[in-house]
Amino acid sequence: MVLVLLVATLGAYSFGRSQSPAGIGPEDREAVSLYAEALDTVRDDYVDQDAVDPKKQTYAAIEGMLDSLGDEGHTRFLTPEEVKKNRAGLSGTYVGIGVQLEDRDGRAVIAAPIEGSPADQAGIETGDVVVAVNGKSVRDAELSEIVDRVKGPEGTNVDLTVERDSREREFSLQRAEIRSPVASWAIIPGTDVAQVRLASFSNDSAKELREALDEARIAGARRFVLDLRSNPGGRLDQAVEIAGLFLEPGKVVYIRQDASGEREKVEVEAGPEPLDVPLTVLVNEGSASSSEILAGALRDNGRATIIGAKTFGTGTVLSQFTLRDGSALLLGVSEWLTPDGDFIRESGIEPDVKVELGKDDELVTPTGARDLSRREILERDPQLRRALQELPD
């Protein structure tokens, strides 16, 4: 509470937009007074007065407050510029190298490279730990600082050093506009099974996935493998809407638990008739956030068998609170649980059938599968092979 007050006060002091002191208690007023005393001291006596920047101090205080909450890599602060980039990312298009970074035990871990992105093409993998950017170590850097170093204009280069299996690997990447195909599909040759991949949960993911499923059915698919591997998540409302493609109205998609421990069931709303087709779901350690919501909903409702590796374990619900200068707090306001009451945060979704990819195996996507025979697909990707085996006739 004290930290929250300090941030609120800093914003008021710097930009003159505070709530009235009458709205806070004596303990909080004391904290406000302490902060104002420290701020005055810095402004009056710090040796390098050119370095005293009210906005930077405000943003630093907010970031420090959010870091203290312990929801590392999820709850975070966005500058006005980052708010715009975050909005663009949810639209499915942005400039970058095509990775999502998550904070795990103080390390910047790549949750999922986006299919076809510079990072994906270069061979960067889920689970790689970023240890240096452009030759400078980031082992002790905050996640936001690492993200800032990786970002840059389209067409510029960035060198990334990652740690994998206790060895460092270096990659030279060119930043590009990332146009991630949200939904793609391909029929496994010689079968009536379509592999349908969902790459993210952006603004129109449910619509695009429905269209992909319809196209596959017209092409002769009767059974489906929904591939959520290395899908870093995104919009929660899209996860609920997509669950409604396969579940009857009234079925629980997830349980929302707030700070007081109160729980609310989030259910499928009335809509088009759900698809009554045999279904399996693929996940891996790069499946996070909304991917975990969807996988948990389909598993706990008995709608699909989940196959692959344990998911990433992102389990807090983010709400965006926009501040007056256009910056924003992405704040974890509640946790989500699967319909059966299993926590996702840090635990992830345990697949019904565990299948790991070996070092010589390959995650085959629908795009990559189009030029392969059935035998080649199943030999390269044991997770996809098992997903076909688990499909009912």
Q: What is the pLDDT of residues 54-100, one digit of tens each?
A: 888 888 888 888 888 877 667 888 888 888 766 665 555 567 898 87
Asked whether residue 117 falls in the same domain as residue 252, the answer is no
Q: Calculate ∠ Cα 190-194-196, nearest 5°.
A: 150
Q: Does residue 246 sit within a domain?
A: yes
Asked whether residue 199 falls in the same domain as residue 338, the answer is yes
For strands 176-179 and 183-187, give the pairing. Answer: unpaired
| Confidence (pLDDT) at 300 | 98
Is it the case that residue 2 has pLDDT exceeding 50?
no
pLDDT single digits (tens) 186-235: 999 999 999 999 988 988 899 999 999 999 999 999 999 999 998 888 88
Among residues 119, 149, 178, the one where a domain terminates is 178
Asked whether residue 255 falls in the same domain as residue 311, the answer is yes
Mean pLDDT, residues 114-135 taken together: 88
50: DSSP letter: G
Asked whether residue 279 falls in the same domain as residue 382, the answer is yes
Q: Is residue 289 within 8 Å of 233, Cβ to Cβ?
A: yes
Name, of 44-48, 182-186, 369-373, the range with top average pLDDT: 182-186
Q: Is residue 321 within 8 Å of 360, Cβ to Cβ?
A: no
Q: Does residue 378 sit within a domain?
A: yes
Is it the case that residue 367 has pLDDT exceeding 60?
yes
Asked whether residue 194 falls in the same domain as residue 342, the answer is yes
Is it the case that residue 11 has pLDDT exceeding 70?
no
| Confidence (pLDDT) at 262 | 92
Domain around 112? 94-178
